[in-house]
Amino acid sequence: MSAPPLLELRGVAKDYPAPGGSLRVLHEASLTVAPGESMAVTGPSGSGKSTLLGLMAGLERPSAGTLLWRGRDMTALSEDELAAWRRVSVGFIFQNHRLVGALSALENVMLPLEICGVPGPQARERALGALAALGLAERAEHRPHQLSGGEQQRVAIARAYVHAPALILADEPTGALDGDTAAAVLSSFLALNAEKGAALVLVTHNPEVAARLGRTVRLARGRLA
């Protein structure tokens, strides 16, 4: 038998409360993500892209359908079980990086390792390596306000990869950057992903960004086209 996909959605739908009833923002989406593959999710604003990503990360619960991780049904897990799975298996990159302002770049990158119980010296060494891979070794002790927008996003990328997750989810990771900076950050991001071998699902409005990933799926009005 062949190995199951890394992640699989089977008829997954999502409803939100609305005046007069519920509003379905994602309709019966079925999708597989193979280990190590890269995928762009495109579509207009309001098409359900961020909802799809939140479901993939276990941050949202589906209203219908099944989410499987390596063939295991995830929909019945408790919130604590989902959180434990995310800590080990998923890295998430937000458009606006969401760094902790009171911490240095190094301390921000160390956070996932500390949450996973990695001893301090080992966490520091791994975090420094992740920053160095993205050209930020000399900026390790700087706080976010002392970094450019592109540098802040690179720190967020290092934080997402430092615990070696099997799946990286990125929501418009270069959308808040100017064109030249976005291109440079995307190049370093994709180079790191190729080195680490994680599966990557990236939401983007930009067709040039989508073209640099291995596969593209499109959402329109909450439906996978």
Q: Say if residue 35's pLDDT is above 60.
A: yes
The answer to whether residue 84 sits within a structural domain is yes
The answer to whether residue 121 sits within a structural domain is yes
The answer to whether residue 53 sits within a structural domain is yes
The answer to whether residue 16 sits within a structural domain is no
The answer to whether residue 10 sits within a structural domain is no
Average pLDDT over residues 192-207: 91
Q: Say if residue 10's pLDDT is above 60.
A: yes
pTM listed for this prediction: 0.92
Average pLDDT over residues 30-57: 93
Structural domain boundaries, residue 149: 33-58+74-224
The answer to whether residue 165 sits within a structural domain is yes
**Predicted local distance difference test score (pLDDT) of residue 121:** 93
Indicate the average pLDDT of the chain.
92
**Predicted local distance difference test score (pLDDT) of residue 95:** 80
**Predicted local distance difference test score (pLDDT) of residue 181:** 87
Average pLDDT over residues 144-167: 93
Percent of the chain with pLDDT over 70: 99
pLDDT in tens, 67-117: 999 999 998 899 999 999 999 999 999 888 889 999 999 999 999 999 989
Total number of domains constituting the chain: 1
Return the higher-pLDDT residue of 76 and 35: 35
Per residue, the 3-state secondary structure of the chain, as one string, reads CCCCCCEEEEEEEEEEEECCEEEEEEEEEEEEECCCCEEEEECCCCCCHHHHHHHHCCCCCCCEEEEEECCEECCCCCHHHHHHHHHHHEEEECCCCCCCCCCCHHHHHHHHHHHCCCCHHHHHHHHHHHHHHCCCHHHCCCCHHHCCHHHHHHHHHHHHHCCCCCEEEEECCCCCCCHHHHHHHHHHHHHHHHHHCCEEEEECCCHHHHCCCCEEEEEECCEEC
What is the CATH number for 205?
3.40.50.300
Residue 2 binned pLDDT confidence (cut-offs 50, 70, 90): low
The answer to whether residue 201 sits within a structural domain is yes
The answer to whether residue 85 sits within a structural domain is yes
**Predicted local distance difference test score (pLDDT) of residue 215:** 95
